[in-house]
Structure 1
């Protein structure tokens, strides 16, 4: 990932409403949420939400699709993963102890994936 792309994505997340929208969409998973539902859950005015979604979409962090009269938004999981990898790919300089907390997070994510089942 180029630094300019990382900066664009990080700056898109560096605002409270946009971060809340993105986190809500991550929780919603691949099914996503309609714009109206996002506005209701986060108590954001529709016009404000529209502007926030535009910023996130321009940064490549959300995708949208039309479903009847609704627009369904989803987190762009691949791009989110690329950003996370960019931030930590040079972590630790080989010292696994420093990155152990990150490994713990990825293990928890993998264990909570329905297709993986529960980990022991």
Structure 2
């Protein structure tokens, strides 16, 4: 089951939103760091469009874990990014680069991802781009 997580992150690194969406259940719950829960693939696609406009990110040093019954998974990785366009309420974008540790937690159902919760240190990111 951890294969779906690898497929999801491979699509992320390729900038392939449709590939990411194919890994999700229709009712996916997306819990973002410092934000509200987004429910459903339409909201997830909107989030991806926003992120692609403001950030260019590649994830490295990926380690994926899953439980024995393949209903939960987690991933730890490094975010390597460039801040492309100012995101509302955040410092001005000037093409700054950043690198920070992050992690995601997943619920899995019927071979797809039904929940994504992502964590990173926002203060660290702000310090790097300020």
TM-score clears 0.5: no
Higher Rg = 1
TM-score range, shorter chain: under 0.3
Per the normalisation by structure 2, the TM-score is: 0.24
Per the normalisation by structure 1, the TM-score is: 0.25
